[in-house]
Structure 1
Amino acid sequence: MELLIIRHGESEADLLEVHEGRADFPLTKLGEQQASLMATYIEQHYRPNIILTSPLKRARRTATILQESIGCGLIVENDLMEFNNGILAGLLRNEAAIKYPLPQGGRPIHIPIQDGESELEFRFRADSVFHKILFEYQHYDRVAIVSHGGMISNILKAFLKQPMNQEFAFPTGDTGIHLLEIKANTRIIRFLNKQEHLQLIEDEN
Structure 2
Amino acid sequence: MSNPVGATKILLVRHGECHGNIEGLFRGRSDFPLNENGIKQAQYLAEEIASLGPIDSIFTSPLKRAFHTAQIISQKNGGVSITPLQGFTNISLGPWEGRKKSDIMQEYPEEWALWINSPERLRLPNAESIPDVQRRAFSTLEFIVQKYKGKALVIVSHRAVIKPLIAACLQIADPYFWRIHVDTASYSIIMHDENRGYCLTLLNQTKHLKSFTSEWV
TM-score (norm 1): 0.87
Which residue does the alignment assign to 1:113? 124
Report if aligned partners of 1:126, 1:158 keep a CA contact under 8 Å in 2. no
Task: State the superposition RMSD in angstroms.
Answer: 2.2
- For 1:57 and 1:191, the matched residues in 2 are separated by 26
- For 2:113 and 2:182, the matched residues in 1 are separated by 26
Which residue does the alignment assign to 2:148? 137
- For 2:93 and 2:144, the matched residues in 1 are separated by 24
Q: Relative to structure 1, is the Cα distance of residues 103 and 92 closer, same or farther in structure 2, using a 3 angstrom cutoff?
A: closer
- For 1:115 and 1:190, the matched residues in 2 are separated by 36
Which residue does the alignment assign to 2:215? none
Matched, 1:60 2:67: yes
Which residue does the alignment assign to 1:190? 201
- For 2:200 and 2:162, the matched residues in 1 are separated by 14
Report if aligned partners of 2:170, 2:199 keep a CA contact under 8 Å in 1. no
Report if aligned partners of 1:130, 1:158 keep a CA contact under 8 Å in 2. no
Which residue does the alignment assign to 1:12? 19
Matched, 1:157 2:167: yes
Q: Relative to structure 1, is the Cα distance of residues 198 and 110 closer, same or farther in structure 2, using a 3 angstrom cutoff?
A: closer
Q: Relative to structure 1, is the Cα distance of residues 195 and 103 closer, same or farther in structure 2, using a 3 angstrom cutoff?
A: closer
Per the alignment, in what secondary structure is the counterpart of residue 45 of structure 1?
coil
Per the alignment, in what secondary structure is the counterpart of residue 25 of structure 1?
coil
Q: Relative to structure 1, is the Cα distance of residues 92 and 48 closer, same or farther in structure 2, using a 3 angstrom cutoff?
A: same
- Structure 1 stretch displaced more, 42-51 or 56-65: 42-51
- For 2:110 and 2:66, the matched residues in 1 are separated by 28
Q: Relative to structure 1, is the Cα distance of residues 122 and 66 closer, same or farther in structure 2, using a 3 angstrom cutoff?
A: same
Which residue does the alignment assign to 1:177? 187
Identity %: 27
Q: Relative to structure 1, is the Cα distance of residues 36 and 109 closer, same or farther in structure 2, using a 3 angstrom cutoff?
A: closer
Query: Deviations 1:154-196 (Å, cap 9, x if unpaired)?
Result: 1111111234x12453211121111111134123322111111
Q: Relative to structure 1, is the Cα distance of residues 167 and 74 closer, same or farther in structure 2, using a 3 angstrom cutoff?
A: closer
Which residue does the alignment assign to 1:46? 53
- For 1:35 and 1:62, the matched residues in 2 are separated by 5
Structure 1: tracts of 5 or more residues without a match:
none
Which residue does the alignment assign to 2:80? 72
Report if aligned partners of 1:4, 1:48 keep a CA contact under 8 Å in 2. no
* TM-aligned CA deviation for residue 104 of structure 1: 8.6
Structure 2: tracts of 5 or more residues without a match:
1-7, 213-217
**Aligned pair count?**
199
- For 2:35 and 2:144, the matched residues in 1 are separated by 29
Matched, 1:122 2:149: no
Report if aligned partners of 1:2, 1:179 keep a CA contact under 8 Å in 2. yes
Per the alignment, in what secondary structure is the counterpart of residue 72 of structure 2?
helix
* TM-aligned CA deviation for residue 65 of structure 1: 0.5
* TM-aligned CA deviation for residue 41 of structure 1: 1.3
